[in-house]
Chains A and B, each alone.
Chain A
Amino acid sequence: MSNLEHKLDAGEFVVTAELPVIDGGGIVEIQRQLEPMRPFVDAFNATDNPSAHAHCSPLAVSIGLMQVGAEPVMQLVCRDRNRLALESDLVGAAMYGIENVCCLTGDDVTAGDEPETRRVFDLDSVQLIALARVLENGHYLSGRPLSPAPHYCVGAVENPAAPPYEYRVRRAAKKALAGARFLQLQLTFRTEQLERFMRAAHDTGLSERIALIPSICILRSVGGMRFVAGNVPGLDVPPEMVARVEGAVDAEAECFDIAFELATHALAQPGVAGLHFISFRKDAGIAALCTRLGIAPRHERESHGHSASVAL
């Protein structure tokens, strides 16, 4: 059982983070990207061609993470692989002891730098979650035996910030029904969107069935803020937040304050199982933010136990 799954089962607070994309440089590069945030993070997401831009494959990066003793969450998107390829990557992951997988639809090819690509979407994200659970039962989708049966801690993503807002919790419930154990929630820059989602998840009992992990993004500049406001599908940034960074003397400090405020707000919601951090470049931002939030380093949490309330 992965450390992440163990913590989720025990109801312990979890910290996950997006590993910046890797394009080469071997284990040394993975080590370099990992190093500043490593003391705080329980598991690192190895992304799968984010924004439809090709990078080193999530399976290869996940194996690299295992080799340096860090725990991966292998993302898989439905955009680039048909069901055969998804099955073989899942089985390949299990072969190396990679258990945490995160199943996503994937940004469309038109969001990337090779928009002429053929999009696949042979499965959708809900079917991909179910597929991982089918493999766990000791057979492929066809029913052909798979022995030994792999074990996964299956995750997925839901976006509280995209319409239809009132349907998002039902879609999240469908992912739980398909077999997802945790949901890393898509970034929200509007606190009311996360609040509405978490309240509905709490009221319907969903947060009892699936661990909900809101995402927090650390931006650094006016340009970065404008980019996410204008270019990321399904992300809605309030104009006053962009204006706040534009008007700041120190844009980086202002962005950090915003991340802190959003994280504090997220931690105050009912049923929050942990936080997922995204920082687009290697630096100590995630560690600094955890420290400011009062989230202890991993080894301290593991020796003393930890709950979300401590973080406040």
Chain B
Amino acid sequence: MTAAGLVARVEHAVKKPIWGCQMCGQCVLHDTGLTCPMTCPKTLRNGPCGGVRANGHCEVKPEMRCVWLNAYERSERLPLWRGHIDNLRPPVDNRLMGTSSWANFVTGRDRQAPEGWATDVESRA
């Protein structure tokens, strides 16, 4: 196994049981009240859709509480990163699926948005 593969294994072993980590390779748990947005059936990165049921459950999986409802409530309770839920998060880089976000954080690879996004959107936000 390569070193990168080993790091990804370890990361998954730690984050899967706690947060249901889907190994998107560009972790934003700190922005989302330590709630993995990739567990949302629509994989939304910027907040809940309009389909949340009156009881707070998911439009797609009625038995599951809305991931973003959890994210919002937890982010309000976190001592750190509280306002981060309002950050404008860029589209997912699908090439990073299955790779270690820890390794991508160290190299800065997880923060490389498409050029058009980086020049227009990030400068505005």
Residues in A lying within 8 Å of B, measured CB to CB: 78-79, 83, 104-105, 107-108, 110-111, 119, 121-127, 130, 133-134, 137, 139-144, 157-159, 162-164, 167, 170-171, 173-174, 177-179, 186, 233-234, 236
Question: A236 to B59, alpha carbons, bound, how many Å?
Answer: 13
Q: Which residue of A lies closest to B87 (CB)?
A: A174
- The residues of A that contact B54 with a CB separation of less than 8 Å are 162-163, 236
Nearest-neighbour CB distance to chain B for A188, whole angstroms, equals: 11
Task: Check if B98 is an interface residue, CB within 8 A of chain A.
Answer: no
Which residues of B in the span 86-125 have a Cβ within 8 Å of any Cβ on A?
A: 86, 88-92, 94, 114-117, 119-121, 124-125
Which residue of B42, B51, B114 is within 8 Å of A121 (Cβ)?
Answer: B42
> Known interface pairs A121-B42, A127-B90, A174-B47. Does A162 touch B52 (Cβ–Cβ under 8 Å)?
yes
Could you say which of A105, A162, A170, A174 contacts B42, with CB atoms under 8 Å apart?
A105
B66 & A163 in contact (Cβ 8 Å cutoff): yes
Chain A residue with the shortest CB-CB distance to B51: A233
The answer to whether A110 touches B42 (Cβ under 8 A) is: no
B88 is contacted by which of A121, A126, A139, A157 (Cβ under 8 Å)?
A126
Residue B5 at the A interface, CB < 8 A?
A: no
What residue in chain B is nearest A104 (Cβ atoms)?
B50
User: Can you identify 14 A-B contacts, CB atoms within 8 angstroms?
Assistant: A105-B42, A107-B59, A125-B49, A127-B46, A137-B120, A141-B115, A142-B115, A142-B116, A144-B116, A164-B69, A174-B47, A177-B125, A233-B50, A234-B51
Task: Determine if B121 and A133 form an interchain contact, defined as CB atoms under 8 angstroms apart.
Answer: yes
Contact among A139, A167, A171 for B116, CB-based, below 8 A: A139
Q: Mark B28-54, 1 if CB is under 8 A from A, else 0.
A: 000000000000011111111111111
Cβ–Cβ < 8 Å partners of B48 in chain A: 162-164, 167, 171
For the complex, would chain B's binding face be called helix, strand, loop or mixed by DSSP majority?
Answer: loop
Most buried by A among B42, B49, B86: B49
Interface residue count on the B side (C-beta < 8 Å): 39
Set A107, A110, A133, A141: member contacting B114, Cβ < 8 A: A141
With A174-B86, A234-B50 given, name 17 new contacts (CB 8 A). Answer: A83-B91, A105-B51, A108-B42, A110-B60, A111-B59, A127-B90, A134-B116, A134-B120, A137-B116, A142-B115, A162-B48, A162-B53, A171-B48, A178-B88, A178-B121, A233-B59, A234-B51
The answer to whether residues A158 and B117 also contact, given A119-B42, A121-B43 and a CB cut-off of 8 A, is no
**Top 10 nearest A-B pairs by Cβ distance?**
A143-B115, A159-B50, A233-B51, A126-B46, A233-B59, A105-B49, A162-B52, A141-B116, A236-B54, A234-B51
In Å, the complex CA distance between A163 and B121 comes to 28
Q: How far is the CA of A140 from the CA of B73 in the complex (A)?
A: 36
A158 CB contact (under 8 Å) in B43, B50, B119: B50
Interface pair A163/B46, CB less than 8 Å apart: no
One of A111, A177, A186, A236 near B124 (C-beta < 8 A): A177
Closest Cβ neighbor of A144 among chain B residues: B116
- CA of A176 to CA of B48, assembled, Å: 16
A108–B43 Cα gap in the complex (Å)? 12
Cβ-defined contact, B50 with A186, below 8 A: yes
By CB atoms of chain A within 10 A, which of B41, B53, B69, B88 has the most?
B88
Contact of B46 with A124 in the complex, beta carbons under 8 Å: yes
A124 and B73: CB pair below 8 A? no
